Amino acid sequence: MDRLVYPALAAAVSLGLLALSLHWRRRHRLLHDMPTSKARGVFIGLVELNGTAEAAAPVRSFLAEQACVQFRYSIDERWSRTVIETYRDDKGQTRTRTRTESGWTALDRGGEAIPFYVRDDTGAVLVRPEGARLEPRTLCSETVSRGHPLYYAKGPAGAVAHSDGVRRFVEDGIPLHCPLFVVGVARERADVVAPEIAAARDAELFLISTHPEQRVLRGYGIGSWVTWALGLAAAVVAGGVWRAHQGPSAPPWPLVAGGAAFLALWALGWIGMAYNSLVALRERVRQGWSLIDVQLKRRHDLIPALVAAVSALGRHERELQTALAVLRAQAAATPPGVAGPDFHGLAGTLRVVAERHPPLAAAPEFLRLQQQLTETEQRIALARSYYNDVATFFATRLEQVPDRWVARLGRMRPEPLLGAEDFERAPVSIEFAAATP
C-alpha cells in the first residue's frame, strides 16, 4: 500500500490544480463577456462597474493615516534564538549541535470597512463591501529598527521574547477617490428606491479591485494557464512515481498515461465549463431584454402621472392668479372716498384663497418633470446599450472556435441587436390640460 501513497497524492494534487485552472478560466470568461455598466444604468443582477470610491464620512487608516473606505494593517516583530540540541550519530554516540531559529510574531492586527459609493460621470451606486474579495492598494510597507519613529509610535512599548529589535508595518486599503473596478450582484436598497451592490449567496463573483479590468483579466488568464501547466506536470510525476515503483526496467507508458489522462479530464471539464458559461451568457441576454421592458413600463406608468400632477398644479396656479386679478380690478375700480364693495365681504374670499393655495411652485415642478423625462430616456438608452453589448458578446462567442461547437449542444442562436426603432413601445404623449373656464 505504501507504494500507492505518493502516486495517489500526486494525482490528487493534479486534479486539484485542474479544478482551479477551470475555475479561473470561468472567471476570465465571465469578466470578458460582461459589459461595463454606468452607475445610472445599474439594474438588478450581476453587474460590472468602474468608478471612484466616495464616502461622506471616510475612515482614517491606522498606519498611513489616509482617508479610506477600507483598510487593514498588521504589525509584526522579528525574533531569533540559538538552540543547542543533543542527538546520536550513526555510531550511537551522543553529540550536540547548535542551530539558529528565527521568525515573526504578530503584535497587532486590525482594520475597518464602511459602505461607500462608486461614482462615475452618470451618478453613484452604494457598495457594501462585506464578503467581497478585495484587491486593495498598499498604503504602508516598512521594516524598521528601534531608532525609527514608527517603531514605537504605532507599535506597542513591550517586546517579544528574543526580539531582534526589528518590526514590520504593513497596511493596505482603498483610499478615498481611488479608481475601482467592481463586480457583484446589484439589489434594491431597503432605505430608498435605488440599487446597491452587496454580497449574495448565489453570486458568481463579488470583487472590489483597485486594479483596472484588463489587469484583473490578465491575472485570471495567467493563473489559469499556470495551474494547468502545474497540473499536467503533477499528472506526469504521478505516472513517473508509479513507474519507479515497478522497477528500472518498467516501460515508460505510466508517464504518457498520466499526462493523457490529465488532458482528457481537462478537455471534458473545459467543455462543461464553456457550455455553462454560454448558458449564463444567454440568460444575461434575456435579462437585458427584460430590463428594457422594465424601463419602458416605468416610462408608461410614471410620465402620465407626473404630467397630470404638474398640469393640476399649473391649472391651480392659473385659477388663483385669475381670482386675485379679479379682486385687484374690483378694488382699483372704486375711487378713493367713494362707497364701494364691502371690505368684510372681500376679506372672506381673500382668506379662503390664501388658505387654499401653497407657495406658487409650478415652474420648479416643470423643471423636475423635464429632469424625470431626461432620466427616463437615459435609463432606456442605457438598458438598450447593455442589451446590445451583452448580445454582441454572446453572438461573438457563438461564432468563435471552439465555442461554436460547444454551442451546438444546446442549439444556441444569437439574439438580434436593437436599433432606435426596435424598442419603441406605445410612446407617451405629453399634453397639459387647459385651465377650466
pLDDT in tens, 188-199: 888 887 889 999
How many domains does the structure of the chain reveal?
A: 2
Same domain for 27 and 109?
yes
Domain annotation covers residue 132: yes
Same domain for 367 and 406?
yes
Domain annotation covers residue 434: no
Same domain for 176 and 58?
yes
Same domain for 286 and 242?
no
Tens-level pLDDT at each residue, the chain (437 residues): 456 677 788 889 999 999 999 999 999 999 988 888 888 878 778 889 999 999 999 999 999 999 999 999 999 999 999 888 787 777 777 888 888 889 999 999 999 999 999 999 989 999 999 999 999 999 999 999 998 999 999 988 888 888 999 999 999 999 999 999 999 998 888 888 788 999 998 888 999 999 999 999 999 999 999 999 999 999 988 888 777 766 666 677 777 888 899 999 999 999 999 898 888 888 888 877 777 776 676 665 556 655 655 565 556 566 656 666 665 666 555 555 554 555 455 555 555 555 444 554 545 655 565 566 666 666 677 677 777 777 887 888 888 888 888 888 878 888 877 765 555 555 555 454 544 44
The x, y and z cell numbers of residue 210, run together, are 483597485
Domain annotation covers residue 281: yes
Same domain for 57 and 178?
yes
Same domain for 244 and 281?
no
| Residues 48, 292 contacting (CB under 8 angstroms) | no
Same domain for 67 and 181?
yes
**How confident is the model at residue 435, as a pLDDT?**
45
Domain annotation covers residue 315: yes
Of 200, 217, 250, the residue at which a domain comes to its end is 250
Of 250, 266, 296, the residue at which a domain comes to its end is 250
Same domain for 138 and 283?
no
Domain annotation covers residue 264: no
Question: Distance between the two ends of the chain, CA-based, in angstroms?
Answer: 102
Q: Tell me which residue range forms the domain holding 23.
A: 2-250
Same domain for 290 and 157?
no
Kindly report the average pLDDT of the chain as a whole number. Answer: 80
Domain annotation covers residue 269: no
Domain annotation covers residue 265: no
Same domain for 43 and 188?
yes
Same domain for 110 and 193?
yes
Domain annotation covers residue 429: no
Same domain for 111 and 74?
yes
